[in-house]
Structure 1
Amino acid sequence: MAHQPELDLSEDAPLHGGQATGRGRVSGRRVQRTVNFDQEVLDRARAAAAHLATHTPEAGVRSLADIVNPAVADRVAELEERFNSGQPFDPVMRLPVGRPRDWPEA
């Protein structure tokens, strides 16, 4: 059997054909990722998380992740409903870096 080269699975490595689909979902496991936020949104979210964690325990917010995870989950559910008949999108191992070439400039 021929030796298969190892794939570079780092976040910034280019995708190759057949590499975009992959692992199934792992539920409940938290992973650290780098995400770029608009500065104002991040500042507001951090302030909310700090205030709520300290002064309002009934809000259920102990960290920035407690704000970000539900917000992302809600947005993804909305996108699945709107663009994928309410079904989850096919899983991917990682996203390609940069903006797709055929998108108009913003």
Structure 2
Amino acid sequence: MAEPTPPPSGSVGVGPDAGRGEVTGAAGGVPRRVQRTINFDRGVLERARAAATYLATREPGAGVRSLADIVNLAVAQRVAELEERYNDGKPFRPVYRMPPGRPSRN
């Protein structure tokens, strides 16, 4: 596999960190929302879809208009927990491209 092309000098949080198996790259102009494909356990996805549909149509005060509203909040809360536990409460170093697949178990 080819190494990623390094970004221009002065970029922050880019370039591979071979010691940690990270693949990074330049962030570029990042829009507010980006589409990504991830896999969910079927039951979790079905429950989240049902909640989003119900709340969007029957409970406008809940602040949920779509599945993304539920997912974004849940991920943000979990990442904050992980930063607190494993990185002294600071954000992890930015990684703009992840290696494909799952990391191997050593």
Which range, TM-score by smaller chain? 0.7 to 0.9
Q: 1:79 aligns to what SS in structure 2?
A: helix
> When the two structures are superposed, what TM-score results if normalisation uses the length of structure 2?
0.73
| Structure 1, 89-98 or 59-68: larger mean CA deviation | 89-98
Q: How many residues align?
A: 90
1:95 counterpart = 2:98:
yes
Following TM superposition, where does structure 1 have runs of at least 4 consecutive aligned residues deviating by more than 2 angstroms? Answer: 16-28
1:21 counterpart = 2:24:
yes
Structure-2 residue corresponding to 1:32: 35
Structure-1 residue corresponding to 2:83: 80
| Structure 1, 25-34 or 47-56: larger mean CA deviation | 25-34
- Of structures 1 and 2, the one scoring higher in RCO (CA 8 A, sep 6+) is 1
Answer whether contact 2:24 2:98 (CA < 8 A) is retained: no
The CA RMSD over aligned residues, in Å, is: 2.7
Aligned-pair identity (%): 62
Contiguous gaps of at least 5 residues in structure 2? 6-14
1:62 counterpart = 2:65:
yes
Residue type of the alignment partner of 2:37: T
Q: 1:73 aligns to what SS in structure 2?
A: helix
Query: Does the C-alpha gap of structure 1 residues 76 and 36 become closer, same or farther in structure 2, counting only changes over 3 Å?
Result: same
Cα distance in 2 between the residues matched to 1:25 and 1:60: 30
